Structure 1
Amino acid sequence: MAFLGGGNPASIPEAEEIFAQTYEAIGRDKSHLRSILGDYSGPIGNEDLRSLAAEALALELNFPLTKEHIAFFNGSQNAFYFLLNAFSGTMPDGTFRRIGLPIVPEYIGYADQTNEAGVFAAFLPNVEQDGPNRFRYTLNAKQEYPDDLGVLVISRPTNPSGNVLSLREIKDLHSLCVKRKIPFLIDLAYGNPFPNLIGKEEPIHFSPGMVLSLSFSKIGLPGLRFGIVVADPPVIELLSSFAATGNLSAGNIGPAFARIFWKERTLEYLSNHILRPYYDTKLQMALEILEGVFQTEKIDYLIHKPLGGFFVWLYFPSISITNQELYELCKEESVTIVSGHYFFPGLVEHFSHREKCIRLTYCRSEEEIAYGSKILAQLVAKHS
């Protein structure tokens, strides 16, 4: 089997040793452990730890944050459910607001989060050649956005393509949101300040009007289900109201890890000295394998320039079957991939990338990537 379709982070021994030491430290503090296991936290986390988070993140995000800017959730996906539904759909005044995706493809997890149908409005990117067998999506600077948008949403780096919007593009989108008085949601699950898988791109800093979503999942702790929202205090108050009934409590295990990480500045070391070098090496290995088998099979392919995250986004211009059909054929050969058609919610225009792109993870072993790449290349060659 080659599981090249999932979103799990890689198993990295150096990172797992840090996690084990942190877990043991939590267990040794018996009085604190009793509170962690036996007490409910507040709906968006306890105030002392939110203050600690604000202090730590203020340095990383270059803004004087307070606990009123911070909310904890059971994973960033949980937070996005509340956020997307708060700013889209039927409003109290009877108007209908949509979620703007200024560039697609975009994260698969947003599509099924909303309570009402027809809330996504997606906009086509520019597609630019970026060297041999490489391309890159960029924001369409001439795009005119409709008046019914209630929020703009991006991920940086983008899941699935590994794209990282430039700070110029971020500034333009933020200015639009400020002008229209709508929030700008930025999903930083793979971005800064942790795990900081943004290649050579500049980090995002917080500004009023932004809603930043952070997660411990991609540092290697998806089982903790710990997400952090950084936003203006009125947005945090709104989220607290949702969380009080939707979650009751933010949980204590993730925040217990976070307390130690922030006090010991573990996340900076983990991100920049363990995770980034590891994933950079894994990416180069995966690209060498993929391009080797693609060229052996003489297939027509383009790879989105992988600027961040841990996925490879592939476009097969000459393939004669859809990406969903390709998924089914790969599955028959014990190879899992993700069909790209899932990553375009709300797009009404025709765009060949929707039917001809797939997403692969490079977090798996070299053997799995080699086997899966060979099967994939043979199937694409057969159906081109």
Structure 2
Amino acid sequence: MRYSPRLATVKRSYIREILKATQDPAIISFAGGLPSPDHFPSQAFAEAAHAVLTENGAAVLQYSITEGYPPLREYIARRYADTLGLDVPMEQILITTGSQQGLDLMAKVFLDPGDGVLMERPGYLGAIQAFSLFGAAFDTVDLGPTGVDLAQLEAGLAKKPKLFYAVPNFQNPSGCTYDEPTRREVARLLAGSDTVLVEDNPYGELRFSGTPLPPLRAFAQGACTVLLGSFSKIASPGMRVGWLVADPDLMHKLVTAKQASDLHTSIFTQRVLHRFLTDNDLDAHIAVIRKAYGERCQCMLQAIRASFPEEVRYTEPEGGMFLWVQLPEGLSSERLFQKAIARKVAFVPGHPFYVDGTANSLRLNFSNSTPERIEEGIHRLAECLKELLATR
């Protein structure tokens, strides 16, 4: 077979491979980036699907426009205005097949082999995959409790990368959030460059403590920005409905790229989702998710404080679905994973989240486990850590 050379530089998703090892129901898994199915509004979606099919018939089973169902785009535009005070015209919103497709479209529109992409360190694995497929040359900026290292960002932008990819709210994998001074300075630095900001915000509405902050786009006057959003974390990941916000000139090119990819995101799914949003109180639904995730996060943090060795460091997120654990030097998260899986607990070792590799960190997901399983899983993981430290 004469495969494209581009596949040679892209690895299969490490997380997807790990998830195959967690199919045993006896395994307590902190590995997947999974929302809790306990809070999927199944009955409401069933009613929405029935109403859409009954009232619209064949129209929802036909081809549709690439940009997306206009009432759904109008809903997103109104929500930006109501919740964030952002003026986003409906015409600047493109419905995508999950926000992951937004990353793919940005790569198709901007990247040729060797083009620069600036990433957070650690960074979202899905973005690393999407950009790698088009031959991106990565540079990274370290991420800390208040956001990216600004001196490193300034130095990285001086190299004129085409894209800077950032997840300012409850970042995947670290759980870190940019504070307001960092957001303002990031926006200032970007305004003085021709690098496009790709701002991914899948977790922004999952804040369960602290003060909400505007997106980078709100501060980035004079910079070219693309803002990605998703219904996966607040409604259903299986619906695969996301969106991106872009200025008109760029939108034209993104629409062309999407037409070549899939013509349009499922119009039936878009119509069902819009009916669900119209007939139900999304804010009340999100409030339930926030409460549950906040309780699960605190449960995990309390269990870590009580049982992890003191040398281990970890983030304390104010929202989202993940926290990040930094092991002492010389301790391998890969070795820890092998011990942990033998005790039927799983997590994601940190190295897939680095374009240059590292072995002593790991990601824990708290959204998809009950408090009881969190406590037991962290206890098992702590025992594995202590065993590794004893042999160091």
Q: TM-score range by the shorter chain?
A: 0.7 to 0.9
CA distance 1:41–1:168, shift in 2 (3 Å): farther
Tell me the distance in 1 between the aligned counterparts of 2:235 and 2:371: 19
Residues 137 and 341 from structure 1, CA distance in 2 versus in 1: closer, same or farther, beyond 3 angstroms?
Answer: farther
Give how far 1:183 is off: 1.7
Report the counterpart of residue 236 of structure 1 in structure 2: 251
| 1:257 positional shift | 4.1
Partner residue, 2:375: 370
Alignment correspondent of 1:86: 109
Aligned pairs (5 A) from 1:31-50: 31-36=55-60, 38-50=61-73
Superposed CA deviations along residues 169-213 of structure 1, whole A, max 9, x for unmatched, are 22222232232123211111101xx34567424232744622111
What residue number does 2:162 align with?
150
- The code of the aligned residue for 1:149 comes to P
TM-score by length of 1: 0.84
Question: Does structure 1 residue 359 correspond to structure 2 residue 363?
Answer: yes
2:386 is matched with 381
Q: 1:26–1:33: 8 Å Cα contact kept in structure 2?
A: no
Q: Does 1:282 align with 2:293?
A: no
Deviation at 1:118, TM superposition (A): 4.7
Give the secondary structure class of the aligned counterpart of 2:121. Answer: coil
Percent of pairs identical after alignment? 22
| 1:6 partnered with 2:3 | no
> What is the CA–CA distance in structure 2 between the aligned matches of 1:198 and 1:42, rounded to whole Å?
39
For residues 380 and 196 of structure 1, do their structure 2 counterparts lie closer, same or farther at Cα, with a shift above 3 Å needed?
closer
- Using the TM superposition, give the Cα deviation of residue 264 of structure 1 relative to its aligned residue in structure 2, in angstroms: 5.1
- 1:7-43 CA distance string (max 9 Å, x none): 111133xx43x4422431331341325322x112222
CA RMSD between the two structures: 2.4
Aligned to 2:23: none
Determine helix, strand or coil for the equivalent of 1:163: coil
How far has the Cα of 1:100 moved from its partner?
Answer: 0.8
**CA deviation after TM superposition for structure 1 residue 282, in Å:** 1.1
- Greater CA drift, 279-288 or 58-67: 58-67
Match of 1:133 in 2: none
- Look up the SS of the partner of 1:277 in the other structure: helix
State the alpha-carbon separation in 1 of the partners of residues 235 and 261 from structure 2: 26
Contact 1:315–1:358 (Cα < 8 Å) also in 2: yes
* Structure 1: segments with no counterpart, 5+ residues: 91-95, 128-135, 348-353
Q: Which amino acid aligns with 1:279?
A: Y
- Contact 1:107 / 1:160 at 8 angstroms: preserved in 2? yes
What CA distance in whole angstroms lies between the structure 2 residues aligned with 1:312 and 1:270? 23
Q: Structure 2: where are the runs of 5+ without partners? A: 1-26
User: Given residue 253 of structure 2, which amino acid in structure 1 is its aligned partner?
Assistant: L
Match runs of 1:216-365 below 5 Å: 216-263=231-278, 266-271=281-286, 273-294=287-308, 298-317=309-328, 320-345=330-355, 354-363=358-367, 364-365=369-370
Matched, 1:182 2:199: no
Q: Find 1:168's aligned residue among 181, 184, 189.
A: 181
Q: Given that residues 325 and 363 in structure 2 are in contact (C-alpha distance below 8 angstroms), is that contact kept between their aligned partners in structure 1? A: yes
Aligned residue for 2:191, secondary structure, equals helix
Which whole-Å deviations, capped at 9, do the CAs of 1:49-69 have from their partners, x for residues lacking one?
323432333333423322221
Letter in 2 for 1:82: L
Q: For residues 367 and 60 of structure 1, what CA distance do their matches in structure 2 show? A: 34
Once residues 294 and 281 of structure 2 are traced to their aligned partners in structure 1, the CA distance between those partners, rounded to angstroms, is 20
2:89 alignment partner in structure 1? 66
Alpha-carbon spacing, 1:68–1:88, altered in 2? closer, same or farther (3 Å)? same
**Displacement of 1:168:** 2.3
Is the 2:299–2:375 contact (alpha carbons within 8 Å) kept by the matching residues of 1?
no
Aligned residue number for residue 17 of structure 2:
none
Judge which range, 366-375 or 218-227, deviates more.
Answer: 366-375
Note if contact 2:77-2:89 (Cα within 8 Å) is conserved in structure 1: yes
Q: Give me the whole-angstrom Cα distance separating, in 1, the residues matched to 2:126 and 2:209.
A: 20
Amino acid paired to 2:180: L
- TM-score (norm: length of structure 2): 0.82
Q: Which moved more, 1:248-257 or 1:278-287?
A: 248-257
Match of 2:229 in 1: 214
The CA deviation at 1:153 is 0.9
| Residue number in structure 2 paired with 1:113 | 130
Structure 2: which amino acid aligns with 1:158?
A: Q
Amino acid at match of 2:115: R
Give 2:117's match in structure 1, choosing from 93, 99, 112. Answer: 99
Q: How many equivalent pairs are there? A: 352
Query: Structure 1 residue aligned with 2:150, among 138, 141, 144?
Result: 141
Shift, 1:261, TM fit: 5.0
Cα offsets for 1:87-121 (capped at 9, x unmatched): 3335xxxxx531112x3212111111133335211
